Amino acid sequence: VGEPFVVGVDVGGTTIKAARVSAAGSILDQRAIPTPAAEGPDAVVHALRSLITSLAPGALAVGVVMPGVVDVAAGVARYATNLGWQDVPLVRLIGDDTGLSVAIDHDARGAGLAERGYGLRLDDFLLVIMGTGVSCAIVREGRPVCGALGLAGEIGHAPVFPGGEPCACGQRGCLELYASAAGIARRYGVLTGRALPAADLGARLATDTAAAQIWGEAVEALALALTTSTLLLDPAAIVLGGGLAGAGDMLRDPLVTALGEHLLWRPVPRVEVSPIADRLGLLGAAQLAWAAAG
């Protein structure tokens, strides 16, 4: 007996997070394990199933969000580079383990659902998720946009600096090389020889010229990509999420200034930091589970 709950799971390249989540979005019991990606795709699937099985008793449904290409209708994880997955029938496997309804989706779209349901609750926005990579959820009239191939919002590979640094995707000058947490930490390391987590740069901007340079380039890269996005979609708001959004106004304020320098003839959309920036994945997975539970 107690509050009804679902299980939400956020599968990332470094950590798998899972939690029991109430209908109001309260996280009742959260667990996290390192993603055993180095041990191969089967090890990741096994670890995920064990984690879900431990939280499932008493739950109404299970929702899972993950990076890569997700076939929502078939319930299959088609392709995820960071996890080594190819055609993993997650919905069937987890359903067999738990006897529950299971839903899966891409992590950025799940984050868009969470922001709509538990964050600022807007109907029309771009949610930019700045973590290990950079991705985006496009929410229009309350629904996340999928695109023809399910690839809408992959803004991390928008070229922002032509002829720039080479990206693992094969192109040069991609946004996430400059504006992801991984990219910022890597570029700061190359410039200074010092290792510093990206989120810590924001506090050093006044005293560390290298930090100010790398941060400034990240903001400019983001502003260029979001200028194009704004001209294309005219969103009511741009919402910042993911680990880097923890920098708060140190990120938001220069971004608003840079957008103003590029969007000369039209207003800059409202820019906000998501109030649930650090748990968008888990709450997005929970939203999917509540929908699956009916």
Binding residues for Zn ion (CB under 5 A): 157, 167, 169, 171, 174
- Which H or E run contains 127? strand 125-130
Find the DSSP H helices in the chain.
41-55, 90-98, 107-118, 175-179, 181-192, 198-201, 209-233, 249-262, 280-293
Q: How far is the CB of 95 from Zn ion (least distance, A)?
A: 35
Q: Report yes or no: 291 and 64 within 8 Å, Cβ to Cβ.
A: no
The token pair at 284 is: 């997005």
If the CB atoms of residues 177 and 286 are measured against Zn ion, the closer one turns out to be 177
Q: How far is the CB of 167 from Zn ion (least distance, A)?
A: 3
If the CB atoms of residues 43 and 167 are measured against Zn ion, the closer one turns out to be 167
Q: How far is the CB of 36 from Zn ion (least distance, A)?
A: 26
Q: How far is the CB of 266 from Zn ion (least distance, A)?
A: 28
Q: How far is the CB of 269 from Zn ion (least distance, A)?
A: 25
Sheet holding 101-106, edge to edge: 27-34, 15-22, 5-11, 61-66, 101-106
If the CB atoms of residues 208 and 217 are measured against Zn ion, the closer one turns out to be 217
Least Cα distance to 77 among 128, 136, 11 occurs for 11
If the CB atoms of residues 157 and 279 are measured against Zn ion, the closer one turns out to be 157
